[in-house]
Structures are given as structure tokens and as C-alpha cells.
Amino acid sequence: MSTSEPKPPPCPSEESTQKPTIPWRFSLRSLFGVTTVSAVLLAFGVVMPASLSWIANGAIWIVAAGWLVIGMVYGRGDQRAFCIGAALVMSSVWTGVGGRYMQGFHMLFGAERLLAAWVDLVVLGATAILNGIFCVFARRYFEGNGE
């Protein structure tokens, strides 16, 4: 028996070390489910007393803000970038520019409507998601060009 050195494992190529990205996918079933849930929630928003509507709206806001703060602390990579971008939108509502942004939507949709609180939540939620996605792309750009 000969004693020979064990062969070192082959070096992985650069392509195989990158994380695979999963594209955004949805099915008609999930789209139908989201549409149905949205319709039911909006129906409750119309018949719900204004005080309960504001309480529910605030509760959703607090849960979303807490989730984003936890994501900024414990998230890594794209998750952290998304949470930072979305939290910027949520915190900017308290500034003059963010307030004017929402005033524009109030003028567009009418502030006296029964769903005004829910329109605010949808507009801010959509803006937070879009800004979070933008921050993920910005992180990838800066990490790729920083070398």
C-alpha cells in the first residue's frame, strides 16, 4: 500500500458560489386570494366606525414599523437594505416633505372619504415597498461597483 497525499477538492467556479436569485412569481390563485382579502378589508373599512378604522390603521402601522426595525437590526444583505428603505418612507411622513406627499394624495382622492385612513395606509405601504426594493438594487449596485 502506498501512502499518497489526498487530492484537494476542486475550486468552485465563481458562478457556482453566487446565491441563486428567485424571481418574483405569482399564480392566478394567489392573485385571486389577495384581491378577495383586499375587497373584504375595504368593505370593513367602509362600514366600520371612523374611530375603529383609525385604531386598526394605527395598529397595522405599529406592527409594520416594528417589523422593519427588527429587520434593520437582525436582517442581512438585501433584507436589511429593504427594511432601511421602507423605514425611511415610514419615518418621512413626520417631515414637511413627507407630509406634503400625503397631502397631495388627500387632494387627489379627497380627504373626506370614508376610506381616507385606508388610502393613506395603502399609499404609504406601496411607497415603502417600492423604496425598499429600490434600496435593494442600490445596495447591489454599490457593492458591485465598490471594488
Range of the domain at 76: 49-145
C-alpha cell at 140: 447591489
Alpha helices by DSSP H, listed for 48-115, are: 50-74, 78-92, 96-109
Confidence of residue 36 (pLDDT cuts 50, 70, 90): very high
Task: Establish if 62 belongs to a structural domain.
Answer: yes
Task: Establish if 104 belongs to a structural domain.
Answer: yes
Q: What percent of the chain has pLDDT over 90?
A: 1
Contact 81, 138 (CB under 8 A): yes
Task: Establish if 78 belongs to a structural domain.
Answer: yes
Average pLDDT over residues 41-48: 78
Task: Establish if 66 belongs to a structural domain.
Answer: yes
Domain count, the chain: 1
- Over residues 93-145, the pLDDT tens digits come to 777 777 787 777 777 766 566 667 777 778 888 888 888 888 888 888 888 76
How wide is the angle at C-alpha 26 spanned by C-alphas 46 and 19, nearest 5°?
130
Sequence-distant (≥ 6) Cβ neighbours of residue 98 within 8 angstroms:
89, 92
Task: Establish if 83 belongs to a structural domain.
Answer: yes
- Over residues 65-83, the pLDDT tens digits come to 888 888 888 888 888 998 8
- The count of other CB atoms within 10 Å of the CB of residue 63 is 10
Look at 51 and 73; give whichever has higher pLDDT.
73
